[in-house]
Every structure is written in structure tokens, then in C-alpha cells.
Amino acid sequence: MQMAKKIMMKGNVAAAEAAIRGGAEFFAGYPITPSTETLETLSFRMPEEGRVFIQAENEIASINMVLGAAACGARAFTTSSGPGMALKQEGFSYAARMELPYVVMNVQRWGVGLGMLDSGQVDYLRDTRAGGNGDYRHIVYAPDSVQELVDDLYEAFDVSQKYRMGVLILSEGYLGQMMEAVELPPFKEIRRPDWGLDGTGEVGLKQLCPTYNMALAHELLPVRQERINRVCREMQRWESVETEDADYVLVAFGLPARVCVDAVRRLREEGCKVGLIRPKLVFPFPYDAFHRVNPNVRGFISVETNDLGQMVQDVALAAKRELPQRNVPVYCYTHSAGVPRVQDVVRYYRSVLDGAVKEVY
Amino acid sequence: MKVIREKPAVIQRPHNFCAGCSHGVFYRLIQECVEELGYSKRQIIAMGVGCNCNLTLSKIDTVDKFQCAHGRAAASATGIKRMRPDLLVMTYQGDGDCGVIGLGETLNAAYRNEKITVFTVNNLNFGMTGGQMSWTTLEGQKTATSVRGRDCAATGYPIHLPEIIAGQFRPAYAARCAVYDPKTVAQAKKYIRRALEAQINGEGYAIVELLGICPTNWGMSPVQAIEHLQKKALQEYPLGEFAGGEQAELAFLRQEAEK
Amino acid sequence: MKEIIFAGFGGQGVLTGGLLIAELAARTQRNAVWMPAYGPTMRGGKANCVVKFGQTPEERIGSPVMEEADVLVAMNVPALDYLEYCRKDCTIFVNAHTVPADQQLPEQAVVVRLDCAELAQKAENPKGESLVMVGAIVRRLGWFDEDFARSAITDYFTGKGKGKYAAANVRAFDLGCQEVK
């Protein structure tokens, strides 16, 4: 069997190439570390492929440019990090109102305000909920390798158009900056949807946008609920490692999840019954994964690179929902910036066993 | 009786602006020009937030409109135009949307010489929210947030968008018009048409500001409001072309004469 | 899975050296990760990267950060700080040009000393210090075929539009090989 060629690519560069191959026709963005290489790559690759690239004056303008392009049915893309993502939130809310599809990649950087350039998973709660006004969600992919980042972006534009929802790729600083051997998929044929503004005033968005029309808004309620329910049903994706007999199950996404895979292996070698659930998407959260763990599991341990613990809330909800008869303790290892080492995770696990740390929920 | 002018075919229902408001006339003039240029079925309008939203609310026409976030119309119009360069892409905004909250987007689109046409209605205050001070509010003018009259030393002086853009960037066209009598209506239509032609001919960015009246928030009858506009507002905001149009022709003629 | 840390001053080619090892693994269809020092560190004079690769095409790389390296490449004395992230029986490739002969090193470690600066000069490639190290690693550890490595290095620099340096880089690589016999 002939194998596809593996090439070393930086996460951010591979993401740009995957978006192009996935059919991105339009990009607008503003440079911000650690996401900038995606914008830099697209600045020459998009015109090479006859597509649109705009270096916008700021983050707010770039998301609003994306909305304009998306309104015409284009596969539109933007990227950012830290405070730049904060500025884009208003635009996401407007897009949700008009059910506009688009893809945004957040290469998370650790910290609040200006933050730091360090890697981290600090935007989980905002990005899995609604960061702007009103109630809406993104479909949120959380890749753990450059290959998965490529695969997610390649699929994202289709998923976004299928559900008419924004798709968010929750990357992190280290994933954007590191290089990994990847295989790139072939170019997709670009297809424009049959809705969207075409200038005739006949098909357009106006049938879908309930501008200030509350009666129509109420009519849309079941439509919106059904869409979210469908997404929650159809987009359950995760990876489980030895959870069937596990006494303790680690839960982690992105790069910390890879560390946890090694931690599980090491602890298993020592005879500890530990497993791992790695959500591949964090919205919808993979509740189904929790349904299949050892029914006598003694605890879940959320492993995150932030300070206050964020995904632990979803882990607790999943434990309540899937193991309703038992009040399974949920712990949280918050590593702060960067990526934990295997020994950090192992040490935390032992402190759970010792009772040195208390459960959060 | 002979009908000498029909309303534009895309306009199908009456608008719901306040009595005397300038929006209705201005928008009709835009659609007359669009129709004459043959773009009625090839146009998209990026809508600001403010009184102009009434155009969408009252569903007066069948034109493709995109409801932008407050102040971001020039950015969204940029996205639309870049994806559909074959269409006529306009923004329709108030002075608050275009020149206050959206000043950044407006100036940056002009800076890039984006091939869009910006229409902005300057009625010297924030109409939709009930008549607060705008950057266009005249010195001494009373509004809901300048109840003793605007103190420009503390709040800034009236902003002149077309002049700023004409003076600092290289737009294809920049002008200010009004619609209070037949003469100004004819002039406004000429300016609107030139602004649209600048886009159609691929020349670049164009802006037309309409100096309008707001009888409701000014606390005047429409007739009083027009008098106020002629007596006071025109002193601050002169009508005319600041870039392109006759300005360009004059410059061209001057250049030729020097040769 | 193999783990190598490259560390030294900026300008010593530390990042490129690590990347070449990762390239060799990727070009033999194996999973490979290259993680540079990133964030505030990269703004200073210190540079480092960690490379991990599988020994079969199927083997996946877990943790992408420094854990327990098999090899430390120390281009200068501060680079030895990274011994903290190495196995006790690791192999240390020491740049004898900057690290004194009496430098204390862990007893269980295998130490390979070579003067990268001198060898790079000899190869008429003063910027090729890391290529010397790559040569030494390839010969000493036997993880990659040497001829394959030479052609991969040439291909890599040509692909980067730096084909004119390829010959000098292969020369530096060769001297690194010869130095460790």
C-alpha cells in the first residue's frame, strides 16, 4: 500500500492550507500572536488560488467583513487570539441572528486582558457558550494535533453551512507554533449555497432574518431549538482510552489530552486503573462518552491549562446527566499556562487518591 | 394628467419615517438612480443601525439588505463587494452610525479606496434613540445629552465627513447634499448618481452625506425645521462636491489650461 | 518513541537542527513533533526545541513537550539546564567549543564531545554548527540511514529556496559524522 506523503508543518501554517483546501473563499483578519502565521500564509496563498484576502484595520472590522462575505454565501474564515477574539464577539452574535455560517480559529493565549504570549486553554467557557449578546452557540472543535487541526478545518466549512452555524476551532498557542508531520487532503470543489444575497432581492437572507419582528422570532424558536438538538445528537465526538474499567477518568482536550494519554499509560503500568476521555469537540460536549465509562467510576479529573477551571463545569454536568444515581466526585487540575508534563498529571492523580485535594463538584 | 415620473419599481410600500423626515426623499432618489443605471436587480445595501432601520422594518421595497452591527456597515459592505464585485454595493447609515460609532470603519474603507458607495444622513443628532448629541450636532444645539446647548470646547466640534475623506484620502467621490426644495433635490440626485457611477466605473470609494432635518427630535414643525436647516445648519455644513464630480472636471480643465 | 532536546544560543541553528531530525522521521513516514521555545523565551537570546518521533509509522506521539529526553544537544553551558528533562542514561552531545572539558555531567550519561564551531569553519560553513551536530547524531545513534539523511538535507534546503547552501550543509554534516567515527 502506498502511503500519502507526510510533511512537517507548523500548526498555524497547516491550518491556513487546510482552510484553502476545505474551500475557504474569503479571509479577513488582523495580526495577533500566536495566530499570525495563518494570516501571513493566507495573505499569499488566497490570491494564488484566486480567493479573497483582506488585512483589515482591526478585529471588529474583520469579523464584519466576514459577515458580509458569508451573507453572499461565501465560505468565510477569520482567525484571532486572546483580546482579538474578545473584540469579535459582537460579530458572532450578529451572525447567529442571521444564521450565517463562517469559520473562526482561536489560537488561545493564556491570561486576561492583554494576556501573555504563552499557550493556554483560557477561552473554553466563553467559546463554548455565547460570547456576545443573546443565546447562540458555536460548534467547537478542539484538535490535539496538527493533523487533527487540518482535518477539522477541512471539514469545518461543510459543517458550518450544513447547520448554518458558526464553527470555532479552539486551537492553543503551542499547537499553532509546533510542527508535526501531516498529510494534506485534496482541494474541495467550492459550491455556493442557494440562499444568500445575490442583489436581486428575490432569494436573499431577508426571509431568514427576523429583523425586529418578534412574531417571527417566536416562530423561529422551535427551529432554533431543533437545530441545536440536532447538532448535539450528530456531533458527539471523542476519544476514550481505557475507560471501561477505570476507577478514575481523566478528561482533557487539546494538547493536555496528549499528555494525559501518556499519564494513563504510565499509571496503568503501575497498576492504577485510570482512563481518559478526550472530547474532540467541546460544543456539543460528548455526553455519550460518559455513558460508557465504568459505572462504578470513583471520580473524574478535568485537566486544563487555565487558572480557575472551566471545562470542569461541563464534566460535572456530564457526570450528573450520565450517572444520575451516583454523585461521582469531579476534580480539576488547573495547570495554568503552557502544557503540563506527565509527572504533573500523575502527581495530581496521587493527591486525589491521598485526599490531599478536594473535589470541585 | 400626464405622469412625468414614476416611483422606482422596487419601492412597493410607504415608509414609516416621521412626518417631514428627509430619509424618504433621499432613499427614493437613490433608488431612482439605481434604476436609471440598470442596477435594480443587482444591488445590495449594507444597513446601519438607527432611524435608517425603518427602511427594513417597513418593508418598503424588495431590495437585498444586510443588517450590519452598529457602525460596521463599511466593513460588511467591503466583505460583500469583494465577494460580489459585479453588484452595486452601498451602505445606508445615519451620522451616528457612519461618523461616530463607525468612524473607524468609515475612514478605513475610504482609506483603502474600497469600491463601495456610502450614503449617510446627517440630521444633527441621534434620531433613533431619541435625540441625543451626535458629533454632527451644532454648537449650542440643545439635545437630550446637551440640554444647555452643545459646549464644543468640552465635547468636540461638528465633524465634516465628506471633507475629511476628500482632504485626507483619495476617494473617487465625496459630496454633501440636501433635499429641502426642488433645486436641492435635483442637485442631490446628480450627486447620488455620480457617486454610484464612481463605483460602477471601478474608480473607487464614494460618499454622499445628506444634510437632513429631524422635526421630531428638533421639536419643530417640518417647515420650521427646513428654515432652521437653511439658516443654521448650512452655515456649518455647506453643500457641494469635495472630491470627484465637478471638482475633478474643474481640476482637469485647470490642468489643460495651464498646458 | 525518541525524544531529543536541542538547546543553545539564538543563531547557533538549534531550531533548524531539531527540525532536520524531525524531517528525517517524517520523510520515513513516521509521526514527528517539533516544539520550539515559544512565547517570551523566543524574544531573548536563548533558543531550544524538543523533537519527538515514533519508531514505527503507527506509533503516536503523546505529550508534545519535554518529558524524559533520550538525547540532549547542548550547544552551550546554559543548555545543560535541560538535563532536568532528560533520562539519567541519556546521550549528551556537547559542543566542545563553548562547554569546558571539566564541565560536570551526570555519571550515567553517555557524553559525545565535538567542537562544532571549528568543524563548521573547516566545512567553510560557519553557520553550519547544528549541521555538524546532526551528522554526529545520525552516525552515533544510527536511527537514520546516512545517505538518506544527506539527500533529505539537500532536498530540505532546496525546498526552502536555499539550495545554494545545500552542499556546504552536507559538508558540515559529513564532518560531524566523521568526528564521532
CATH of residue C163: 3.40.920.10
Asked if A60 has any chain B CB less than 8 Å from its own CB, the reply is yes
Asked if B16 has any chain A CB less than 8 Å from its own CB, the reply is no
Q: Is C38 in contact with A34 (Cβ distance < 8 A)?
A: yes
Cell numbers placing A27:
479571509
Give the one of A174, A261, A265 whose C-beta lies nearest to C35's C-beta. Answer: A174
Mean pLDDT for B34-56 is 93
DSSP for residue C84:
G
Q: What is the pLDDT of residue C38?
A: 65
Q: What is the pLDDT of residue B55?
A: 86
Mean pLDDT for B47-64 is 88
Please state which CATH class domain A239-354 belongs to.
alpha beta
Instruction: Indicate the domain borders of chain A.
Output: 7-234, 239-354
The 10 Å CB-count burial string (b at 16+, else e) for A281-314 is bbbbbbbebbeebbeebebbbbbbbbeebbbbbb
DSSP for A189-225, please give it: PP---S-S--SSSSSSGGGT--TT-HHHHHHHHHHHH
pTM: 0.94
CB C115 within 8 A of CB C96: yes
Cell numbers placing B99:
461618523
The SS3 call for residue A113 is coil
Cell numbers placing A45:
496563498
Q: Does A239-354 match A7-234 at the fold level?
A: yes
User: Burial of A110 by CB count in 10 Å (0-12 exposed, 13-18 middle, 19+ buried)?
Assistant: buried
Q: Is A25 in contact with B46 (Cβ distance < 8 A)?
A: no
Chain A residues lying within 8 Å of B57, measured CB to CB: 211-212
- pLDDT higher than threshold 50 for residue B76: yes
CA-to-CA distance for B176 and B192, rounded, in angstroms? 10
Give the one of B62, B79, B111 whose C-beta lies nearest to A68's C-beta. Answer: B79
Mean pLDDT for C73-90 is 95
- pLDDT higher than threshold 50 for residue B92: yes
Mean pLDDT for C12-32 is 94
CA-to-CA distance for B237 and B244, rounded, in angstroms? 18
Chain B residues lying within 8 Å of A23, measured CB to CB: none
CA-to-CA distance for B27 and B30, rounded, in angstroms? 5
Q: Is B64 in contact with A60 (Cβ distance < 8 A)?
A: no
Give the one of A8, A180, A259 whose C-beta lies nearest to C62's C-beta. Answer: A259
Smallest CA-to-CA distance from C176 within C129, C141, C144 is with: C129
Q: Which residue of A has its CA nearest to B105?
A: A61
Share of chain C above pLDDT 90, in %: 90
Q: Is B65 in contact with A52 (Cβ distance < 8 A)?
A: no
Best residue in A64, A99, A206, A207 for a mutation probing chain B (most B CBs within 10 Å)? A64
CB neighbours (10 Å) of residue B113? 15
Q: What is the pLDDT of residue B253?
A: 81
Cell numbers placing C23:
524531517
Q: What is the pLDDT of residue A213?
A: 52
- pLDDT higher than threshold 90 for residue B60: no
Asked if A205 has any chain B CB less than 8 Å from its own CB, the reply is yes
Mean pLDDT for B51-70 is 88
The 10 Å CB-count burial string (b at 16+, else e) for A112-131 is eeebbbbbbbbbbeebbebb
Q: What is the pLDDT of residue B62?
A: 86
User: In order of start, what are the domains of chain B with their CATH numbers?
Assistant: 23-258 (3.40.50.970)
CB C36 within 8 A of CB A178: yes
Chain A residues lying within 8 Å of B80, measured CB to CB: 68-69, 71-72, 197
Chain B residues lying within 8 Å of A46, measured CB to CB: none
B touches A, CB cut-off 8 Å, minimum 3 pairs: yes
The SS3 call for residue C89 is strand
* CATH 2.60.40.4070, applies to A7-234: no
Q: Is C29 in contact with A6 (Cβ distance < 8 A)?
A: yes
CB B115 within 8 A of CB B199: yes
Which residues, 6 or more positions from B49, have their beta carbon under 8 angstroms from its beta carbon?
B67, B68, B69, B70, B71, B97, B128
CB B244 within 8 A of CB B194: yes
CA-to-CA distance for B124 and B131, rounded, in angstroms? 9
Q: Which residue of B has its CA nearest to A25?
A: B83
Which of A5-9, B142-146, C37-41, C123-127 shows the lowest per-residue confidence on average (mean pLDDT)? Answer: C37-41
Chain C residues lying within 8 Å of A174, measured CB to CB: 35, 38, 64-65
Stretches in chain A below the pLDDT threshold 50: 1-3, 211-212
Mean pLDDT (chain B, rounded) = 94
Domain that includes residue C121, residue range:
2-179
CA-to-CA distance for C48 and C15, rounded, in angstroms? 6
Over residues A155-173, the pLDDT tens digits come to 999 999 999 999 999 999 9
- pLDDT higher than threshold 70 for residue B75: yes
CA-to-CA distance for A182 and A146, rounded, in angstroms? 7
Chain A residues lying within 8 Å of C22, measured CB to CB: 8, 179, 181
Q: Is B83 in contact with A90 (Cβ distance < 8 A)?
A: no
The 10 Å CB-count burial string (b at 16+, else e) for C78-106 is ebbebbebbbeebbbbbbbbbbeeeeebb
Number of domains in chain C: 1
Q: What is the pLDDT of residue A2?
A: 44
Q: Which residue of A has its CA nearest to B87?
A: A199
